[in-house]
Amino acid sequence: AQSVAQPEDQVNVAEGNPLTVKCTYSVSGNPYLFWYVQYPNRGLQFLLKYITGDNLVKGSYGFEAEFNKSQTSFHLKKPSALVSDSALYFCAVRDGGNNRLAFGKGNQVVVIP
């Protein structure tokens, strides 16, 4: 089965500083990778995806992610964090030949004013 790992439980960053949320993947074949964000007591919101093409993927709210095949990583980045970016972030990978997604455990991001 395909899987993703998010090695950090929480990321703290000062407002205005760059934000990075890490994700590594384990797949057989080509990976289809996703990032989602969840605010408290809400559903997940889709941020961006990598299917094929450019290794740098741009998404919603100023986020981008870099696909690195040699390091099997798909880290989420934002050049300048906002307090409103404080949320839970999930990395996911397409799992098998259907539309299933396998999610990581999530990363709590805290942006400090």
Partner 1 sequence: DGGITQSPKYLFRKEGQNVTLSCEQNLNHDAMYWYRQDPGQGLRLIYYSQIVNDFQKGDIAEGYSVSREKKESFPLTVTSAQKNPTAFYLCASSIVGDRSYEQYFGPGTRLTVT
Q: Which residues bind partner 1 (CB under 8 A)?
A: 9, 32, 34, 36, 41-46, 49, 51, 90, 94, 98-101, 103-106
Do 65 and 77 form a contact (C-beta atoms < 8 A)? yes
Q: Which is nearer to partner 1, 45 or 80 (CB)?
A: 45
Nearer CB in complex with partner 1: 58/105: 105
Residue 27 Cα distances to 41, 59, 113, angstroms: 31, 23, 38
Report phi then psi at 84, rounded to 5. -70, -10
Q: How far is the CB of 54 from partner 1 (least distance, A)?
A: 16
